[in-house]
């Protein structure tokens, strides 16, 4: 007995010893900067320190919330998030169902869907920018040759055509992640359930809606949370494909612009806080929803 | 879903769908590879098979010292990031997955929240931190900030791995009088090697692809990483966008990743889904 208690003591001491370095690193790079962001969001402060900081009260928040550019960026971010997450979920589910069924070439498909995921976002954005180039882009040439469009389109020049292309890049890049998660979820569903359903005379469509979908819901919700949080902070695709083009800013490119281009640490920090609050609202809504649907 | 039970029409439709998925997934990558080998005067052609091949775009890309320098920077930053995240992350994960201690549940919960933490919300805070510590515009600074997304992820996935190992393994060793540290080092760590590989690979890919921090926290060309340099590629003339060299440089940084992903396919999928499905 004494030996066991001694072992527990040693395990506890070791546990603290092992956890501490990681915790210290995380506090240093998330904890401190986060406090700094909260404090700075209430200050008039230049990022290069050229002017001594002064107290701003809610001035920075007031600036953002009355800035039409911010509201436009928020609108773009929400349209992007809702559209891309819905498309990725539906396509991801289709691909997962295909990859989960028995057919020749399943292995090839499973490797192929990983490729877009492995490509750096900057590179995928460049590839799509090139494909949708106004003069040399393959999209314009093919569409014009097939007489689907009368003239070549400058896709990335206006929000109305640029946003669908940007959403397509995101869907292309992140559907693999969605399909992999859903595929893992599908594989957790016991096969005998389907056999039982077949014996009971349920057809494939009925099996999908009364068996597959409800059992897949927990996985789908987790995947939705991951994707939504990712989409809300989208930066790379927009920055690379359209820069800070008016009407095509997101809340993240807006925040980065405030900090780097205007060197305004106060407004930049306040924007960061607003993004964090928006994301937290989404998390709370999702967790509420998932709780009520399972209890 | 056995295919024998389906009618030929349904089966044909099914394979058409598979084909559509394959084309959608592979065409952009395929097109980029083609473009990187096409002579400039042939770039506007949409022939699927180019009439002539050239390596001139690759020569252009490698002749640019910013590109070669950024390759080295990216390798160092991503490599060191992975080593540090794996070292501190896996010992932390051992404690969380295997050892009894108070506040274990809150620490685990915190780690999970951190894996989803939006980087943009500490952008200005980290900027100040790097300026104050003199790490702004340095590889060390990037490595430090990359811990934000690699450390919590490593801890979370590795904790799942440590938890999945059977209890009996260490009990026998404890009976023999081994210390908890010996049990970790000699028995459990070797068993989690597959986990370490897949987690390390995923962390490497994440660090290699990172753009926002690299763009914001480096100013001089000699500190920039690959994604930042590819984004600002302007070639020799400076007026026209040099699509050939951009595609060539893009393929240089992408093809090794694609090959790695193909080789470690199963492990990557396991690592990617470990956090999400079980959590």
Sequence-ordered list of residues with C-beta below 8 angstroms from that of A241, at least 6 positions apart, any chain: A125, A128, A129, A156, A162, A165, A166, A169
Q: What is the pLDDT of residues B60-87, one digit of tens each?
A: 999 999 999 999 999 999 999 999 999 9
Nearest to A268 among B17, B123, B208 (CB): B123
Structural domain boundaries of chain A? Answer: 68-294
pLDDT (0 to 100) of residue B1: 46
Options 3.30.1600.10, 2.40.70.10, 1.10.3720.10, 1.10.150.120; CATH for A68-294 is 1.10.3720.10
Which residues in B lie closer than 8 A to residue A121 (C-beta atoms)? 209, 211, 227
What's the burial of B175, exposed, middle or buried (CB within 10 Å: 0-12/13-18/19+)? Answer: exposed
Chain A: nearest CA to B251, how far in angstroms? 8
* Residue A295 confidence class, pLDDT cut points 50, 70, 90: very low
A102 pLDDT higher than 90 = no
B278 pLDDT higher than 50 = no
Give the mean pLDDT of B229-252. 81
Give the mean pLDDT of B235-254. 81
Mutate to test the interface with B, among A2, A3, A13, A19 (most CBs of B within 10 A): A19
pLDDT (0 to 100) of residue B48: 67
A238 pLDDT higher than 80 = yes
Structural domain boundaries of chain B? Answer: 3-42, 57-278
Question: Hey, are the CB atoms on B44 and A273 less than 8 Å from each other?
Answer: no
Of A8-12, B17-21, B137-141, the poorest mean pLDDT is in A8-12
Q: What is the pLDDT of residues B192-213, one digit of tens each?
A: 888 899 899 999 999 999 999 9
**Smallest CA–CA distance from A113 into chain B, residue:** B25
Give the mean pLDDT of A28-46. 93
Highest mean pLDDT of the ranges A43-52, B2-11, B147-156: B147-156
A294 pLDDT higher than 50 = no
The better pLDDT of the pair B133, B100 is held by B133
Question: Hey, are the CB atoms on B116 and A225 less than 8 Å from each other?
Answer: yes
* Cβ-contact A226, B276 below 8 angstroms: yes
Q: Considering chain B, what percentage of its residues have pLDDT values greater than 70? A: 91
A108 pLDDT higher than 90 = no
**Smallest CA–CA distance from B113 into chain A, residue:** A283
Chain B: nearest CA to A168, how far in angstroms? 11
Nearest to B205 among A118, A172, A255 (CB): A118
pLDDT (0 to 100) of residue B27: 93
| Ordered DSSP codes for chain A | -HHHHHHHHHHHHHHHHHHHHHHHHHIIIIIHHHHHHHHHTTEE-BTT--S--EE-TTHHHHHHHT-HHHHHHHHHHHHHHHHHHHHHHHHHHHHHHHHHS--TTHHHHHHHTTHHHHS-HHHHHHHHHHHT-TTT-HHHHHHHHTTSSSS---GGGSHHHHHHHHHHHHHHHHHHHHHHHHHHHHHTS-HHHHHHHHHTT--HHHHIIIIIHHHHHHHHHHHHHHHHHHHHT--HHHHHHHTT-TT---HHHHHHHHHHTS-BHHHHHHHHHHHHHHHHHHHHHHHHHHHHHH-
Question: Hey, are the CB atoms on B125 and A103 less than 8 Å from each other?
Answer: no
Would you identify the CATH topology of the domain B57-278? MetI-like fold (1.10.3720)
Reported ipTM: the value is 0.90
Q: Considering chain A, what percentage of its residues have pLDDT values greater than 70? A: 97
Question: Hey, are the CB atoms on A176 and B226 less than 8 Å from each other?
Answer: no
Q: What is the pLDDT of residues B34-51, one digit of tens each?
A: 999 988 777 766 666 777
């Amino acid at each position: 007995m004494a030996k066991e208690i001694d072992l527990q003591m040693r395990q506890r001491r070791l546990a603290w010893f092992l956890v501490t370095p990681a915790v210290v690193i995380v506090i240093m790079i998330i904890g401190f900067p986060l406090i700094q962001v909260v404090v700075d969001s209430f200050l008039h402060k230049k990022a290069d320190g050229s002017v001594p900081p002064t107290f701003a009260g809610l001035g920075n928040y007031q600036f953002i919330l009355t800035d039409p550019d911010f509201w436009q960026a928020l609108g773009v971010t929400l349209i992007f998030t809702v559209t891309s997450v819905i498309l990725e979920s539906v396509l991801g589910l289709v691909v997962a169902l295909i990859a989960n069924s028995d057919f020749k070439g399943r292995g090839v498909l499973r490797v192929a869907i990983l490729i877009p995921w492995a490509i750096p976002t900057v590179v995928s954005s460049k590839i799509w920018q090139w494909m949708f180039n106004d003069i040399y882009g393959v999209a314009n040439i093919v569409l014009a040759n097939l007489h689907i469009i009368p003239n070549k389109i400058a896709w990335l020049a206006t929000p109305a055509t640029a946003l669908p292309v940007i959403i397509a890049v995101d869907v292309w890049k992140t559907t693999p992640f969605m399909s992999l998660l859903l595929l893992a979820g599908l594989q957790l569903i016991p096969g005998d359930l389907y056999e039982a359903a077949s014996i009971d005379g349920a057809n494939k469509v009925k099996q999908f809606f009364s068996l597959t979908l409800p059992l897949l819901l927990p996985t789908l919700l987790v995947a939705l949370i991951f994707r939504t949080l990712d989409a809300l902070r989208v930066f790379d695709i927009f920055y690379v494909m359209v820069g800070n083009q008016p009407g095509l800013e997101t809340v993240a490119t807006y925040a980065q612009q405030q900090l780097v281009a205007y060197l305004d640490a106060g407004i930049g920090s306040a924007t960061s806080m607003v993004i964090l609050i928006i994301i937290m609202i989404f998390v709370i809504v999702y967790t509420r929803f998932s709780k009520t649907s399972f209890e | 879903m056995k295919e024998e039970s389906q009618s030929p029409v349904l089966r044909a439709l099914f394979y058409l769908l598979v084909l559509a998925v394959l084309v959608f997934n592979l065409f952009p990558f395929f097109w980029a590879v083609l473009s990187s080998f096409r002579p400039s005067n042939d770039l506007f052609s949409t022939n699927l098979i180019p009439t002539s091949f050239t390596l001139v775009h690759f020569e252009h890309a490698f002749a640019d010292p910013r590109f070669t320098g950024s390759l080295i920077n990216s390798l160092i930053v991503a490599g060191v990031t992975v080593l540090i995240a794996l070292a501190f992350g896996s010992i932390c994960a051992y404690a969380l997955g295997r050892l009894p201690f108070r506040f274990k549940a809150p620490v685990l919960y915190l780690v999970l929240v951190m894996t989803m933490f939006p980087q943009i919300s500490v952008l200005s805070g980290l900027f100040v931190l790097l300026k104050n510590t003199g790490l702004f515009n340095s590889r060390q600074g990037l490595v430090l900030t990359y811990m934000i997304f690699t450390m919590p992820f490593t801890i979370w996935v590795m904790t799942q791995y440590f938890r999945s190992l059977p209890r009996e393994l260490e009990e026998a060793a404890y009976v023999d009088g081994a210390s908890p540290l010996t049990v970790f080092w000699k028995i459990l760590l070797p068993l989690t090697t597959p986990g370490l590989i897949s987690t390390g690979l995923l962390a490497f890919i994440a660090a290699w692809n990172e753009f926002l921090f690299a763009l914001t926290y480096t100013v001089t060309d000699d500190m920039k990483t690959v994604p930042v340099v590819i984004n600002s590629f302007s070639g020799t003339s400076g007026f026209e966008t040099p699509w050939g060299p951009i595609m060539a440089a893009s393929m240089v940084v992408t093809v090794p990743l694609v090959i790695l992903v193909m080789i470690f396919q199963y492990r990557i999928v396991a690592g990617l889904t470990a956090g999400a499905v079980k959590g």
